Amino acid sequence: MIDLNVLKENPELAKNIKLEISGADLLAFGESIHNRAIAEAEKIAPTSPEKYLTPQELADTLHVSLVTLWSWDKSGITKPVRIGNAKRYRLSDVEKFMQEDQ
């Protein structure tokens, strides 16, 4: 039995190797890759639902007027989300905007 880590570390050794894999081994390998992918996705996924702010809430938080907020929307500084006829701002977008400004 060949340790696959040896092949990873020395890919030149793998040039002429032929592998015979049973169906059960292939299924187990696929399942391990799937489980690893799910674990990685869970690390990346947000742990809490996104919070949305109204224009007034955002303006109050940033201590700016609604006119300033409207101007920032037009120039692309802030990016509101339209939900029907309502305009909302993702809190995560606002936090990124504040970090970039520093």
What pLDDT, on the 0 to 100 scale, is given for residue 15? 81
User: What are the residue ranges in the chain where pLDDT is below 50?
Assistant: none
What pLDDT, on the 0 to 100 scale, is given for residue 36? 93
What pLDDT, on the 0 to 100 scale, is given for residue 46? 64
Taking Cα atoms as reference points, which of 56, 57, 96 lies closest to residue 77?
A: 96
What pLDDT, on the 0 to 100 scale, is given for residue 22? 92
CA 89, 58, 98, 46: dihedral to nearest 10 degrees?
A: -40
Q: Break the chain into its structural domains and give their ranges.
A: 4-44, 52-101
Q: How many CA atoms lie within 13 A of 95 on its CB side?
A: 6
- For residues 28 and 43, is the Cβ–Cβ distance under 8 A? no
What pLDDT, on the 0 to 100 scale, is given for residue 89? 95
What pLDDT, on the 0 to 100 scale, is given for residue 48? 74
Instruction: Give the C-alpha distances (Å, rounded to integers) separating 100 from 40, 58, 94.
Output: 26, 17, 10
What pLDDT, on the 0 to 100 scale, is given for residue 21? 87
What pLDDT, on the 0 to 100 scale, is given for residue 45? 67
Q: Chain-centre distance of CA 26, in angstroms? A: 29
